[in-house]
Amino acid sequence: MLARLSAESKTRPDASIRRALLVAAFIVCWMLAISVRLVYLQISDHERLVGRAQRQQQFALETGPERGHLLDRQDRELARSIQTASLFVDPAELETPGDIACVAVRVASVLNLDEKRLIGQLAQAKDGGRRFLWLARRMSADQAGKIRGFGLPGVHFRTEPKRFYPNGSLAAHVLGFVGLDGAGLGGVEQVYNEKITGEAGKLFVEKDSSGNAYESFELPSKPGQTIVLTIDQSVQYRAEQALGAAVKKSRAKSGTAIVLDPHSGEILALANAPTFDPNDVGAVWPEARSNWALQNIYEPGSTFKIVSFSAAIEKGLVKPEDRIDCQMGAITIAGRTIRDHRRFGTLTIANALAKSSNVAAIKLGLRVGDATMHNFITRFGFGSRTGIELPGETPGLLRPVTRWQASSIGSIAIGQELGVTPLQMAAAFGVLANDGVRVAPHLVREIRTSSGTSVYRSTPEQRRVVTPETARALRGMLEEVTVNGTARMAQLDGYSAAGKTGTAQKIDPKTKTYSRTKHVASFVGFAPVDNPAVVIIVVIDEPAGAYHGGDVAAPVFREIAEQILPDLGIAPDTKLSVESEQVAQSTQTVQSPEAAKAQEARTRLEEQRKATLPSVARRDGRDGEIVYAAASNKAVLMPDLRGRSVRDVARACAHLGMQVEARGDGRVIRQSPAPGSEVGSGQVVSVDFARAN
């Protein structure tokens, strides 16, 4: 028996060994599980755990980058960023309700906030476990200094850039403005926001287990790019001053003025009235921030006649010297009668444009035809966006030719049944000023990095619209508008000028018909005529009282042009008007008492006329005398016209308010009245021309 038990014990494993093996197996499994878990945590869940640890140990603040500068064409600052202090609180550091109340009372007293509301916000943030709460963004230095002096718990400051416009409202509609979050909300600031903004940085703050900061480090931000505009600060200022004075004087709803270089397509000035200060955007109604230069659609009226006249001349249908029957001022198209503002008989094509004959424009449109007319309209750039680097541009209104009615050609030829923007119209006149080539208008000249390296230069699209011969013919015809036509108040002192007036009735929203009281007065012109340096458009919306383009808009063109042309280094190209003044002044001493009285009466009338015109005072560069950019008709003695060209004679007589009866061509050989004779306004001057052998 004992032997059998001994044998069985030898064949059966020891119980302790089994237990040891069992424990060992458990330990191995446990270690494997731990290893698997560690591998999972280290590899699969690593990023989440690191982020959780960093959130517990680190506090990160995003630092706003410095926005790039906006410069004018002379590298003068139009917009820059300045450093300001922003205020935030860490609610976790407010340990007691007393801390919350103390912070709320002190901060509210400086920032003019609601104390009870601020206490509620702080308490709610603390209960919710929040670690960050903005109290104020981009404070003034005085406010920041007062709050720093309190030494409040949990209150911290962060430096943030703030957009600043050193010239106030200058070019506000071009520049735009920036919101509290640092994003551009209008103008160039909005269109180029991504390039101007730059890249944000981060400030990391290390905290211990008690939440106290003990170390910090920063990843610096990268400043934005600099935008160099085509705008000239001086030209912009003069345009805004002249436009603002005109809108105020005419009690108009609004106004727009654009100065364009026709050869490069660069916009030297773009002004709207009323305007706003981008440093204080909240102080104006949203309507004041609308950019009417490219958002306001209006019927252009007679300024649009350049299309029908250009098309007829370009297609070889007429020449400027050809004559056209204006039918005593009335024409009927598809049962609709359209009239001229005066009854004209037979006029040359050039005179028909100078006199702004609707009948002549319509007859030319009929000769051109619907399809060709539509083609020329689109070639001049109407019906599509110009591509200007500003938000909100509209393409205008131009129906497909298939939707034209039988009478549409009569309306469109004189600038009705379609809508344009001031920018489109300025670009169209730029075609004629640039010998028939349209250069796309643009505002951005160059983009530079923060280190000054150029990364972009503008290369605007160019396309030929009409031949150089057609463009030059139209320039000569448009000069007649300022000399003997509807825009005599656009004549410049020392410079030749050309252009076209427009007076369009607005549509009454109630009756859906043309209003008898609301008009859009406009003038588009360029100077000097032979080699235009600038195209200037002035549009006045709903002027009260005088509403014709020649009376309201043309004087603003004159004021702007006379002031900016010398600034741009453009030499005067006319001298006869100055010589006429000198002749008159040098012979006044021999006037009879009757003539002196007549001159005095004329002077009074001239001063009264000046008082009705919007004028901008400037200081003459030669002797410092204050003069006004208004045409003068003071001369009372006939100047010596012998040896002068047809253009010079027409300009001088228009300056004196006289009518010209010309015979022949070339240079003046005879004149009547004789030089030095007394003349009066409206008198007819007979002039004989002849060419030298």
Q: What is the pLDDT of residues 44-75, one digit of tens each?
A: 777 777 767 666 666 666 666 789 999 999 99
The pLDDT tens digits of the residues spanning 442-500 come to 999 999 998 899 999 999 999 999 999 999 999 999 999 998 888 889 999 989 999 99
What mean pLDDT is predicted for residues 220-242?
93
Token pair 């945590």: residue: 41
Could you report the per-residue pLDDT of 561-581, keeping only the tens digit for each? 999 999 899 999 875 444 444
User: Active-site positions?
Assistant: 302
Which has the higher per-residue pLDDT, 287 or 633? 287
Say how far apart CA 240 and CA 171 lie, in whole Å: 8
Per residue in 168-219, pLDDT tens? Answer: 999 999 999 998 778 899 999 999 999 999 887 776 666 665 555 555 666 7
Given a contact cutoff of 8 angstroms between Cβ atoms, the answer to whether 59 and 205 are in contact is yes
pLDDT at 97 over 80: no
Locate 466 and state its tokens: 């009409």
Among candidate residues 629, 639, 492, the one with its CA nearest the CA of residue 571: 492
In this structure, are residues 329 and 342 in contact, taking their beta carbons and an 8 Å threshold?
yes
Q: In a 10 Å sphere around its CB, with 0-12 CB exposed, 13-18 middle and 19+ buried, how is residue 634 labelled? A: middle
Confidence of residue 409 (pLDDT cuts 50, 70, 90): very high
Instruction: Evaluate the omega torsion of the peptide bond into residue 675 and state whether it is cis, within 30 degrees of 0.
Output: no
Q: Are 211 and 56 in contact (CB under 8 A)?
A: no
CA distance 222 to 97: 41
Kindly provide the residue ranges of all beta strands, DSSP E only, lying in 118-212, ordered along the sequence: 133-139, 155-164, 201-207
pLDDT of res. 112: 78
Amino acid, single-letter form, for residue 501: T
Average pLDDT for the chain: 82
Confidence of residue 158 (pLDDT cuts 50, 70, 90): confident
Q: Would you list the DSSP string of 457-498? A: E----EEE-S-HHHHHHHHHHHHHHHHTSTTGGG--SSS--E
Instruction: Please give the structure tokens belonging to residue 534.
Output: 């600038």
pLDDT higher than 50, residue 36? yes
Residue 214: predicted pLDDT: 54
Report strand pairing: 226-229 vs 70-71. Answer: parallel
* Least confident segment among 48-57, 228-237, 514-523, 549-558: 48-57
- What residues have CB less than 8 Å from 343, skipping those under 6 apart? 328, 329
What pLDDT is stored for residue 595 in this prediction? 46
| Strand partners for 689 | 668
The DSSP element (H or E) to which 559 belongs, if any, is helix 554-567
pLDDT of 633 reads 40
Distances (CA, A) of 181 to 16, 163, 184, 223: 74, 11, 9, 16
pLDDT band, very low/low/confident/very high, at 103 (cuts 50, 70, 90): confident
Angle at 657 between CA 476 and CA 355, to 5 degrees: 45
Can you give the pLDDT at residue 434?
97
pLDDT value at position 111? Answer: 76
Give the Cα separation of 524 and 502 in Å (integer).
8
Using a pLDDT cut of 90, give the percent of the chain over it: 49
Residue 12's pLDDT band (boundaries 50, 70, 90)?
Answer: low
Q: Tell me 80's DSSP state.
A: E
277, exposed or middle or buried, with CB in 10 Å at 0-12, 13-18, 19+?
middle
Q: Quick one: pLDDT at residue 85?
A: 75
pLDDT in tens, 337-373: 999 988 999 999 999 999 999 999 999 999 999 999 9
Burial environment of residue 635 by CB neighbours within 10 A (0 to 12, 13 to 18, 19 or more)? buried
Residue 592 · residue 651 · CB < 8 Å: no
The full set of domains in the chain, from first to last, is 60-229 (3.90.1310.10), 233-567 (3.40.710.10), 576-690 (3.30.10.20)
Contacts of 569 (CB under 8 A, 6+ apart): none
pLDDT over 70 (residue 273): yes
Q: With pLDDT > 70 as the criterion, what percentage of the chain qualifies?
A: 82
* The predicted structure's pLDDT at residue 119: 74
- What's the rounded mean pLDDT across residues 603-631? 37
Lowest pLDDT segment from 12-16, 300-304, 460-464, 596-600 = 596-600
Helix axes of 370-379 and 358-368: crossing angle, nearest 10 degrees? 100
pLDDT band at 535, cuts 50/70/90? very high
Which H or E run includes 330? Answer: strand 330-333
| Residue 472: predicted pLDDT | 96
